[in-house]
Structure 1
């Protein structure tokens, strides 16, 4: 059965909301439980499709799980079923989830054998595995590819051995996978040009709590001294920075007044400043972010008077996951902005729906869109549309909540993959949204 969101927009949203645990961190740290036979307790787990699918996958692999509640789980990977890893069931289920690629690093590091499916998940462009596979090879693994099943098999018969690597790109999942493979390798592994997003930092802190020896955390130069074994630990996932950014955009577009509780401000990097560049007022109250009601907001210009460009960049630059949200927010701003999505060549292809709603956007090419703000000269109009990926889906939802009339958003499984109970939580802010 498929569901859609029926949204009647035009209501200013007001109230308090708490961000869920970070999806991207959850996929990494939950994969890391495979590195030890001891119990690992993880809290603040987001109750979303992608994460629940990964937990179900681990259970079918033989990992024992105890759900203390919907957001806390105890994992124990004492006995792994390698026959299941070669089954059609594993290929089918893991192929639906991009995050399943991160099972390879811990399996290879601990057992010397792993499998990687062809990447699944969002339809936002190519998702290369080169960084993962090249790095595994440098650690001493060999891989083969089955064209019929679109599956990679990796083997490290003599175990992995630490080495120096200069990564060809600061891939977040690639860095995480190589860290998890290297913590049990013989000798020292050095990763240069490593991703240093808060998700990766959290993974490193968790692994060190398990007994790993990782140095240089928060930098792009990691030194990993291999250890013989890892033990259990307890770990709490950070608030999801993408949800925080989504709620900032939601408040601005609906002319609402929202307080984001326990936002994890110290881990947000330049995200708040980028929203301020769009003219949105933010106020810090401890670890909460208050967005006051604004009748309008004006996009800043560069100091020489030229049009503002907002682009994604590896951390500590702006995460690409928020560009879709910022593009939508700019639609009702005063002024113009160029949104430059560098990493994924299909992520801006949802702007046709915004054009149908009355937005003024020029899609320059697959990576760039120029937004001419309406300055609330007229509201967007509700339409029927479909969600192509997680972030575009929420961007369209924000547009629908600010629009005049009724919108129908189809393919909301994409939204559910990344945002827990989003319709229930928005109703608590005053949104008129139904799951139909």
Structure 2
């Protein structure tokens, strides 16, 4: 098991380019299963979860050609349905949360799919009900074996229908959309997710020949077509990485320019950091963060304590709350962090408290952070990365802390951030992989 040794307290400086979006990749890559024609995808991040999904597609019979470091060509003209019965497929599916995204394309094009309960971060309950209820409304027949293996088939084909989702699940919406594009008739999805990554998927499918109206809204109307063709697609930069780098610059008092950010797709992320007192300057499509030795958390107009919470798009993504919480530990002022979606994502704060942060964990969903205003620096400790986002938040804390930190289980960080140690070293960070 690898770990990062970090010598903190050093200001960083330079430019950094965000990787392609992990959460978009898991949807876009599975969409290649919808056509027998070639699909070329660029700006694919070289991270563990994405590489595992590409490996899964290849083992399923998808032809995979690597054209450059971040560009692949896929062609699913000879998918091996029998591979889904293999022990290797079961092991792959269990190890990867993104494997759930094959359900919609496989059911739509081949009339059946099966999947073990997928893995991923241990951040609380992440039920798949939205996926299966939507597919069942279109004619899918679900069988659950042993509480952790799913079989779903559509012996009479999928039929378009109206559905109101019980939650605006991004992956659930994506699976239903990918099923609906080849279904017979019209599918209407209300309370659909409308994140930029879901919009990217819909736009790609339209270029492949799908008929989708309402892209960017929570009401999607999809008219099924008989077949889809090939296309080319470039993924967005990862908004979570961009937010992480903003937080890193503030926490370490660094001057950093984040390049090619697709700022119009970032939603509330820049303004949320501004509420923490961080200067965020747009320079074309780049984000410039000047070195700051002090930043102060805003209050509401009546003087009450600021609350930062996650919400479905266009609200703040839950994946950044861990980073925002860490950044607040060195701000002036107090903030309440409210993680609404996952009940285990704030449990990493005990490591920050051990580093000297002043945090009150109110319950599994809420933490109050009393900023130290840079008067008392965090100090290095040995800690373990519990999941992708908490892992990078702890890394940011370690880079700002005095002394030596050791972060264990960095494979979790590798699942979502490509070459993070090398890229931070290029900015002047003292970090090495042990």
Which residue of 1 is the match for residue 291 of structure 2?
Answer: 293
In structure 1, the partner of 2:118 is 119
How far residue 228 of structure 1 moved from its aligned partner, in angstroms, is 0.2
Question: CA offset at residue 146 of structure 1?
Answer: 1.2
Instruction: Summarize deviations over 1:62-120 as a string: whole Å, max 9, x none.
Output: 00000012210000000111111111110111111101000000000000101132131
Summarize the alignment of residues 2-401 of structure 1 with structure 2, pairs less than 5 Å apart.
Answer: 2-147=1-146, 150-401=148-399
1:386–1:410 contact (8 Å) kept in structure 2: yes
- Mapped partners of 1:169, 1:117: distance in 2: 23
Aligned to 2:420: 422
1:266-286 deviation per Cα after TM superposition (whole angstroms, max 9, x unaligned): 100010000000000011100
SS at structure 2 position matched to 1:294 = coil
Q: What secondary structure sits across from 1:79 in the alignment?
A: coil
Please list every run of at least 4 consecutive aligned residues from structure 1 whose deviation after the TM superposition is greater than 4 angstroms.
Answer: none
Query: Given that residues 282 and 290 in structure 1 are in contact (C-alpha distance below 8 angstroms), is that contact kept between their aligned partners in structure 2?
Result: yes
CA distance in structure 1 between the aligned counterparts of 2:268 and 2:161, rounded to whole angstroms: 33
- Distance (Å, rounded) in 1 between the aligned partners of 2:11 and 2:93: 40
User: Is the contact made by 1:250 and 1:398 (CA closer than 8 Å) also made in structure 2?
Assistant: yes
List per-residue Cα deviations over 1:302-340 (Å, max 9, x = no partner). 011000000000000000000000000000000000000
Deviations 1:371-402 (A, max 9, x none): 00000111100000000000000000000000
Moved more, 398-407 or 116-125: 116-125
Q: Distance in 2 between matches of 1:144 and 1:286?
A: 52
| Equivalent residues of 1:253, 1:332 under 8 A apart | yes
Report the Cα distance in structure 2 between the residues aligned to 1:88 and 1:124, rounded to whole angstroms. 27
For residues 309 and 13 of structure 1, the distance between their equivalents in structure 2, rounded to whole angstroms, comes to 29
CA distance in 2, matches of 1:117, 1:261: 39
CA distance in 1, matches of 2:68, 2:379: 40
Residues matched between the structures, number: 434
Q: How many Å separate the matches in 1 of 2:146 and 2:301?
A: 53
Partner-residue secondary structure (3-state), 1:16 = strand
After superposition, the CA RMSD in angstroms is: 0.6
CA distance in 2, matches of 1:430, 1:278: 25
Q: Deviations over 1:328-369 (max 9, x none)?
A: 000000000000000000000000000000000000000000
1:348 partner SS = coil
* Alpha-carbon distance in 2 for matches of 1:164, 1:434: 53
Show structure 2 runs of 5+ residues with no match.
none
C-alpha deviation, 1:288, in angstroms = 0.1
The whole-number CA distance in structure 1 between the counterparts of 2:126 and 2:188 is: 24
CA distance in 2, matches of 1:164, 1:87: 35
Aligned 8 A contact 1:119 1:127 in 2? no
Please list every run of 5 or more consecutive structure 1 residues that lacks an aligned counterpart in the other structure: none
| Partner SS state of residue 154, structure 1 | strand
In the aligned structure 1, how far is the partner of 2:293 from the partner of 2:5? 26
SS of corresponding position for 1:205: helix
Q: Please give the per-residue CA displacement for 1:406-434, whole angstroms capped at 9, x wherever unaligned.
A: 00000001000000000000000000000
Secondary structure of the equivalent of 1:352?
Answer: helix
Matches of 2:366 and 2:123 in 1, distance apart?
14
Aligned residue number for residue 408 of structure 1: 406
